[in-house]
Amino acid sequence: MIRTRYEIMAMSAKELRIEIAKLKGYEWHCYMFGLSTQTYVLESKRSESFGVTDMPMPQKATRLDCPDYPYDIAAAWELVEEAYKKEFAISIEAMPVISRRWHIHLGNYNGQDDTLPLAICRAWLLMMENEK
């Protein structure tokens, strides 16, 4: 499903993390414990996997075994490195006098937010959505 810039800019940090992880190959897995207890985990693909990549976030999602892109600058920077390898021009701006927001450009895709990792996530997701 292709998202608009408005939808991506309105996503919460958790929604960004999940969407990026799914684009990076993570998928939801359901584990059964006993007869009625289900645990949903977002984790990397496995060869014997019965995971589903396009499933929305389950109501009982209990664990996200994927990098915390919106809060971990090292994980977010991996997204910048990926854009760099695709030969996208990259620029980062911070103008604290004008606004307290970070701006990052990955080619023609601009993400902005209060923290650099969140801005990176938004720009990367815009870039990926437009490459589909």
- Band (117; pLDDT cuts 50, 70, 90): very high
Last residue in a domain, options 37, 65, 93? 65
Q: Report yes or no: 31 and 38 within 8 Å, Cβ to Cβ.
A: yes
What pLDDT does 33 receive? 59
43 and 91 in a single domain? The answer is: no
List, for residues 56-111, the tens digit of each pLDDT value: 555 555 566 788 999 999 999 999 999 999 999 999 998 777 778 899 999 999 99
CATH number of the domain within which 78 lies: 3.30.2120.10
29 and 55 in a single domain? The answer is: yes
**Sheet with 37-44: strands ordered across:** 26-33, 37-44, 61-64
- The residue among 51, 89, 67, 88 whose CA lies nearest residue 19 is 67
Q: 130 is in which domain, residue-wise?
A: 1-24+67-132
59 and 74 in a single domain? The answer is: no
20 and 1 in a single domain? The answer is: yes
49 and 94 in a single domain? The answer is: no
59 and 71 in a single domain? The answer is: no
- Measured CA to CA, the distance from residue 74 to residue 53 in angstroms comes to 24
pLDDT(114) > 70: yes
List, for residues 10-53, the tens digit of each pLDDT value: 999 988 988 898 888 887 666 665 555 556 666 666 544 444 44
